Structure 1
Amino acid sequence: MAEIVFGAGTSHSPLLAAPPTLWAERADQDRHNPELYDNEGVIRSFDDLAARADGRFAEQMTMAAWEENWQRCQTALDRLREDFRAAAPDVVLIVGDDQRELFTETNQPAMAISAAAEMKTGLLDDHDSEFLKEAAHSYLMDQEFTFRGHAQLAEDLARGLMDENIDIGWMTGAPPGTGFGHAYGFPIHRFLLPDPVPVIPFMLNTYYPPNQPTPRRCFQLGRALRAAAAASPLDLRIAVLASGGLSHFVVDEQLDRRVLDAIENKDAETLCTIPTELLNSGSSEIRNWITIAGAMEGRDVRWSEYVPIVRSAAGTGCAMSFVSWT
């Protein structure tokens, strides 16, 4: 049977790809972001958030603080890369979210698995931004990058999920002119190059109403993925990875700690009852982490790192997190 031998979670923010000297550019872009949610799930303007913060983020916005946080994140990413190598998986299943790279609202599955034997990344075209140029390279989206899939295992997982009463979308290709996005390109680039093993992208609709899976459904999905892997007759070592999160584009440390403490303490009920009104915009990617927590249920956390990065007076930024399960 196939076996999940390693589980991990990683943020994939462009702040992990572009150096701190460019973060102010991203902070300026935040001023025009219409999806800035406060810690109660209410959309607020940048200026409103900044007024409410009343200067409390000043110490977190110095270049010295940014450089320190950058180094902590890069150290954690390096450590995850070593864990991937030590686990020696035959295939990696990445649970990420599509952000209109493949799907549109004309066809928006709640969840889908790719069974293509070969896939490519899409292109990130905003070349007027130095910040996004750096991000595009680390996302493997500055040019088309081709990576291998594993069609037979993907089919086994899809059949197994159906047996576990999880209705799953099925893909053997991508719409013309599209490619996989940063949720997949970043971990391939950071953990698997130069010779990546096959990757199975699993798409979870975290962002877009009305068919976002609930936290409880995500945890059930993770359990079902583990069962489906065990039911496969293939003799394969599988690594599973949550890509994205934690809270952004407004950092919410209380929410993040709730999630990470529940993962550490194997507290499934807390993960299953995270209020959906808090899982908006980038914070919605916490669903990917809940899914992998379900797949790794009962396993200990080997280590974790949490680095909340604030890049503006409004508290915008991204809470970086990295977890490695035994």
Structure 2
Amino acid sequence: MATIVGAFAASHGPLLSMPPELWHLRAGADMKNPSHWFQGRAYSYAELLEARAPGFADAVTQAQMQARFAACQVALDTLAERFAAVQADLVLVLGNDQREVFKDDLTPALTLYSGAQIDNIALSEAQRLRLPPGVAEAEDGHCPPEGAVYPGAPAHALQLAAALCDAGFDPAVSHRLPQGEDRQHGIPHAFGFVYRRVMRDAPPLSVPLFLNVGVAPNQPRVARCLALGHALGAALKGLPDELRVAVVASGGMSHFVVDEALDQMVLQALAQGDEATLCGIAEPYFNGNTAEIKSWLPLVGIAQSAGLTMNLIDYVACYRSPAGTGSGMAFASWS
């Protein structure tokens, strides 16, 4: 029976990969965005500013943004060191795709990637120019300028797929990612970020698991994400003997509107394995990019199956506008 030696989770996003002097690029985009999801309702920027009065002007000074950025870098370094220390032979990576690879021709709810190699391909200059403001500037945080190739684990991916089917799940299996001029070539940024920043571009064999947490209508609901974690815990332990397995989740917390109360409730429930509290959060609270919290939820069942305990490395609310837009950044390990 394989051993689950640790689990890890990290937020990802442009604010982690570009200096605070450039955060105004994303804040400017926020001000033009007509729909910001916050606590289950969509707001314009002006409505959000009014609803969250007196606002967050004190949190968006250069000194505050620099301090929060620095805290995130320390947390990421700690996470990377803890990942290296477990000396995993195989890593399962949980993340989402934001219409980078999967388009409206096919959007599976759950996809295991079974390729022999995982390509992290740098965007062309033309592709960078099509990105929203402040996103291209952070691209090196998910992909080295020259690109990278990481080792996949086809046999293990197929064994996990069969075990999930036995447990009542029906994952799609992709031996190669979809291609086309309208798509990113290579692994999406949710995965690229943790390969680069947590695994330092030198991962062991790995299996990416795509959770369609954010694209309607077939997003897995909270209860399904939690159930998936229990199924994955059993499936991972069913891999060959002597295999040391780690799990890394990428995404979250609340964004593009920071909701510290929601983030703290989720983090406390994750630490306590409190599935009832998590299931009690209304699904509309996960609209928008806050949906990425769902990539963390399978860790509850995985940790329970392996007897792991969560340690919160840090939570940092990274605000970038007076209306409270930005990202709640969290970093945790289970051991």
1:266 and 2:273 aligned = yes
- 1:42-53 correspondence runs (5 A): 42-53=41-52
The counterpart of 1:126, out of the listed 103, 125, 128, is 128
Match of 1:179 in 2: 186
Per the TM alignment, residue 277 of structure 1 is displaced from its structure 2 partner at its CA by: 0.8
Contact 2:195-2:201 at 8 Å conserved across structures: no
Match of 2:294 in 1: 287
Match of 2:94 in 1: 95
Which amino acid is the alignment partner of residue 102 of structure 2? F
- 1:140-151 correspondence runs (5 A): 140=143, 142=145, 144-151=147-154
Q: Distance in 2 between matches of 1:194 and 1:106?
A: 31
1:244-286 deviation digits (Å, cap 9, x = unpaired)? 0000010111111110010122212212332111001110011
Match of 2:105 in 1: 106
Per the TM alignment, residue 105 of structure 1 is displaced from its structure 2 partner at its CA by: 1.6
1:161 and 2:164 aligned = yes
Q: Distance in 2 between matches of 1:88 and 1:144?
A: 24
Match of 1:211 in 2: 218
Per the TM alignment, residue 35 of structure 1 is displaced from its structure 2 partner at its CA by: 3.8
Which amino acid is the alignment partner of residue 158 of structure 1? A
Match of 1:135 in 2: 138
The structure-2 alpha-carbon separation of the partners of 1:141 and 1:285, relative to structure 1 and needing over 3 Å to count, comes to farther
Please, what TM-score do these two structures have when normalized by structure 1?
Answer: 0.95
Contact 1:216-1:273 at 8 Å conserved across structures: no
Aligned length: 325
Q: Which runs of 5+ in 2 are unaligned?
A: none
Match of 1:319 in 2: 328
The structure-2 alpha-carbon separation of the partners of 1:120 and 1:83, relative to structure 1 and needing over 3 Å to count, comes to same
Q: Distance in 2 between matches of 1:228 and 1:217?
A: 16
Q: Distance in 2 between matches of 1:262 and 1:169?
A: 29
Q: Distance in 1 between matches of 2:122 and 2:35?
A: 23
Contact 1:35-1:281 at 8 Å conserved across structures: no
Match of 1:37 in 2: 37
The 4+ residue runs of structure 1 with deviation greater than 3 A are 127-131, 141-144
Please give the root-mean-square deviation of Cα atoms over the aligned residues, in Å: 1.7
Which amino acid is the alignment partner of residue 38 of structure 1? F
The structure-2 alpha-carbon separation of the partners of 1:142 and 1:136, relative to structure 1 and needing over 3 Å to count, comes to farther
Q: Distance in 2 between matches of 1:161 and 1:194?
A: 28
Per the TM alignment, residue 59 of structure 1 is displaced from its structure 2 partner at its CA by: 0.8
For the residue of structure 1 that corresponds to 2:91, the secondary structure is strand
Match of 2:243 in 1: 236
Which amino acid is the alignment partner of residue 5 of structure 2? V
For the residue of structure 2 that corresponds to 1:199, the secondary structure is strand
Contact 1:243-1:288 at 8 Å conserved across structures: yes
Per the TM alignment, residue 313 of structure 1 is displaced from its structure 2 partner at its CA by: 1.4
Match of 1:195 in 2: 202
Q: Distance in 1 between matches of 2:132 and 2:110?
A: 32
1:22-77 deviation digits (Å, cap 9, x = unpaired)? 101110011223441122x1111111111222342011111111111011101100
Q: Percent identity?
A: 38
The structure-2 alpha-carbon separation of the partners of 1:242 and 1:194, relative to structure 1 and needing over 3 Å to count, comes to closer
Per the TM alignment, residue 242 of structure 1 is displaced from its structure 2 partner at its CA by: 1.2
Contact 1:22-1:130 at 8 Å conserved across structures: no
1:15 and 2:15 aligned = yes
Per the TM alignment, residue 294 of structure 1 is displaced from its structure 2 partner at its CA by: 2.0
Which amino acid is the alignment partner of residue 229 of structure 1? L
Please, what TM-score do these two structures have when normalized by structure 2?
Answer: 0.92
